[in-house]
């Protein structure tokens, strides 16, 4: 960071336990593909630079997680994988936080059932939900979470690690970067000659033998070469927020061509942010034309794009705000004060009656940071 801050009495030094996804063989930090793992590592790096202590736990063994967390006696536990939510009632910590990075369809019955199964049982434990977009926040509130317990915390990018080039080496090309899956829909666009594709292969419909498939990039290669391109294309079907690589592309000065699902948290009025309507997603000629148009615009605004990315999505700005919010929640923890009075109430959601804390006194903290 440009300036390292030592915690003061108003910004106490805390201990974090960050629980990863435990997707073998992806490590923290990842050597190649691993968006969530990269995010967790960036949280660790920046929190430590602020003077906090951070322990990262990346195993699928629930007993190991519980033992490791309780051993370090954290002030804040932040879980990043919902199937591991069963550990929460056996973990001792003043502040427990969950974030979902999965692109489940919002406002669908499956989403509400997911929340009811994995998170509602832990209302009594004071679980806070940190979501990646306002849309997800609304979903949790509709399921019974109090607005003062659901916070929007954006994903970000470490702009310091990326080499920035202006002009780019490949001014006439775009990059479609990410895990090659049906959700990302790369197979639809391989015939667009002005796009290169990079990412681990996982979709039989995508032809690995085409010249514009570059294989999987390492993290080091990504840092050095993402800014070689004029723009980024991500036309995924579902996302929890704007994909991490979109934010990384912005801090590298690339224009972005995204689906509606991948446009969450972006200022879509900006000329270098192009959103492909879902009804046009299979119109290859239309998509190719929009990619070319975006590329021409982006080349003229490369410095401004990078500044927009840094101002809105740099970890340098986001992590201090995250740490400050956690410190406030720690200070207001039931470990430090008696719980507020409650009444009996319920909210009907997804065909079920789910207990909630809707009648609890509203916290003074803002739900969005």
| CA distances, 240 to each of 80, 99, 130, 348 (Å) | 13, 10, 12, 24
Q: What is the pLDDT of residue 105?
A: 59
Structural contact between residues 256 and 232, judged by C-beta atoms closer than 8 angstroms: yes
CB hemisphere CA count around 73 (13 angstroms): 0
DSSP, collapsed to helix, strand or coil, labels residue 274 as strand
Closest CA to 254 of 276, 219, 230, 271: 230
Q: What are the Cα distances from residue 196, in Å, to 91, 142, 272?
A: 45, 41, 19
Closest CA to 299 of 205, 183, 174: 174
pLDDT given for residue 338 in this prediction: 44
Burial of 336 (0-12, 13-18, 19+ CB in 10 A): exposed
Could you report the average pLDDT of every consecutive run of 10 residues in the chain (369 residues)?
Answer: 42 90 71 83 96 93 92 94 80 90 66 71 74 88 86 95 97 96 96 96 95 95 97 94 94 98 95 98 98 98 98 97 96 61 40 39 36
Give me the sign of the Cα torsion angle 290, 292, 294, 296: negative
pLDDT at 341: 43
CB 65 within 8 A of CB 27: no
What's residue 113's pLDDT? 73
The structural domains of the chain, ordered by start, are 15-156+315-355 (3.40.50.2000), 160-313 (3.40.50.2000)
Q: Count CB atoms within 10 A of the CB of residue 77.
A: 27
Of 145, 109, 106, 112, the closest CA to residue 264 belongs to: 106
Best CA proximity match to 127, nearest among 90, 97, 92, 89: 97
**C-alpha–C-alpha distance, residues 248 and 226, integer Å:** 8
Cα–Cα distance, 353 to 348 (Å, whole number): 5
Residue 233 pairs in a beta bridge with 257
pLDDT of amino acid 164: 98
CB under 8 Å to 236, separation ≥6 — which residues? 103, 178, 183, 184, 185, 243, 259, 261, 262
Task: Tell me how far apart the alpha carbons of residues 309 and 272 are, in angstroms, rounded to a whole number.
Answer: 12
Q: Quick one: pLDDT at residue 334?
A: 65
Sheet containing 95-98: give its strands across. Answer: 53-57, 15-19, 76-79, 95-98, 127-131, 150-152
Residue 63, Cβ neighbours under 10 Å: how many? 10
Q: Supply 130's token pair.
A: 């940190």
Which SS3 state, helix, strand or coil, does residue 232 take?
Answer: strand
């Amino acid at each position: 960071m440009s300036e390292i801050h030592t915690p003061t009495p108003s910004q106490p030094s805390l201990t974090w336990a960050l629980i990863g996804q435990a997707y073998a063989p992806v490590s923290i930090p990842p050597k190649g593909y691993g968006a969530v793992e990269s995010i967790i590592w960036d949280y660790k790096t920046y929190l430590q630079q602020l003077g906090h202590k951070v322990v990262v736990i990346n195993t699928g063994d629930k007993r190991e997680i519980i033992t490791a967390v309780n051993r370090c006696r954290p002030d804040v536990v932040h879980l990043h994988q919902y199937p591991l939510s069963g550990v929460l009632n056996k973990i001792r910590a003043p502040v427990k936080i969950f974030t979902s990075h999965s692109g489940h369809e919002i406002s669908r019955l499956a989403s509400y059932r997911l929340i009811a199964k994995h998170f509602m049982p832990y209302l009594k434990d004071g679980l806070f939900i940190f979501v990646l977009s306002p849309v997800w926040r609304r979903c949790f509130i509709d399921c019974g979470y109090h607005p003062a317990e659901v916070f929007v915390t954006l994903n970000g990018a470490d702009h310091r690690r990326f080499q920035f080039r202006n002009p780019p080496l490949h001014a006439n090309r775009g990059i479609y970067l990410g895990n090659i899956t049906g959700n990302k829909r790369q197979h639809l666009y391989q015939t667009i000659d002005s796009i290169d594709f990079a990412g681990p292969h996982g979709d039989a419909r995508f032809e690995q033998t085409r010249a514009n498939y570059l294989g999987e990039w390492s993290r080091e290669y990504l840092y050095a070469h993402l800014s070689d391109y004029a723009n980024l294309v991500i036309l995924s079907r579902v996302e929890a927020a704007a994909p991490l690589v979109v934010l990384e592309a912005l801090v590298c000065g690339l224009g972005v061509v995204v689906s509606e699902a991948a446009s969450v948290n972006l200022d879509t009025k900006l000329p270098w942010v192009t959103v492909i309507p879902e009804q046009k997603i299979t119109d290859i000629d239309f998509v190719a034309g929009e990619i070319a148009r975006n590329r021409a615009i982006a080349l003229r605004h490369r410095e401004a794009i990078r500044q927009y990315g840094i101002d809105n999505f740099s970890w340098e700005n986001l992590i201090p705000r995250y740490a400050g919010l956690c410190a406030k929640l720690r200070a207001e923890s039931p470990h430090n004060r008696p719980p507020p009075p409650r009444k009996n109430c319920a909210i009907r959601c997804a065909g079920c009656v789910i207990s909630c804390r809707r009648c609890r006194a509203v916290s003074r903290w803002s739900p969005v940071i």
